[in-house]
Amino acid sequence: MNNYTFFATISRMKYIERWALMRNSRPENLSEHAVEVSMIAHALCIIGNVRYGRHLDGERAALIGIYHDASEIITGDMPTPVKYYNEEIKHAYKTVERIAEDHLLERLPDDLRPAFSSIFKPNKDDEDEMYMRKLVKAADKLSALIKCIEEERSGNKEFITAQKSTLKALDKMKEECPEVKDFMDEFLNSYGNTLDELAL
């Protein structure tokens, strides 16, 4: 009997803590982050289709969101300031990520591997696919911003600088992707509210 370890390895996302170098009022693990990114990526695609006449596969975007940081099971969560310190480190880390993703895919049977490989590796010839993946990246940033907002509203000032840099990155994304602006304008304000406030 073969023993393929892909899904058992993926299930360990719940043990990878994000924001490890920062004081958190509530820890966040990679599984939680992946679910939030998936939901937001799906929403961004729906906004794109309904309001901007796009033809994006929201379900596929959600699936890509689930696996978008899976390589961190192997690499760990590298802090953003380190990851993007300069082009050389950024390029080196991207290479490490690709190697880690290949290592994960090797844990699947040969006949299933192509289907999962297409989740990890973009089809660069497909314009809609590349735009959808851009929205997944935006969803990743929005999830980070939501974390910063929630920490700030709980009285933790540790995330103030991260919030500013994340907003700056999202401002650039809004220029290319109006879906991001729509989500921020219509949904972002309620994050960090109490349950009673959300029920009003």
Q: What is the DSSP letter of 24?
A: -
pLDDT tops 90 at residue 195: no
Phi, psi (rounded to 5 degrees) for 89: -65, -40
Q: Would you state the torsion angle of the CA atoms of residues 70, 76, 77, 81, taken in this order, to the nearest 10 degrees?
A: -130
Confidence of residue 79 (pLDDT cuts 50, 70, 90): low
Neighbours of 149 (CB within 10 A): 18
pLDDT tops 90 at residue 88: no
Report the b/e string of 52-69 with b at 16+ CB within 10 A: eebebebebbbbbbbbbb
Q: Where are the alpha helices (DSSP H) in the chain?
A: 6-10, 30-52, 58-67, 72-75, 80-83, 87-105, 113-120, 127-153, 160-176, 178-187, 195-199
pLDDT tops 70 at residue 1: no
Rounded CA gap, 62 and 39, in Å? 6
Is 191 or 8 the better-scoring residue by pLDDT?
A: 8
What CATH number has the domain spanning 6-186? 1.10.3210.10
The predicted model gives 152-179 an average pLDDT of 94
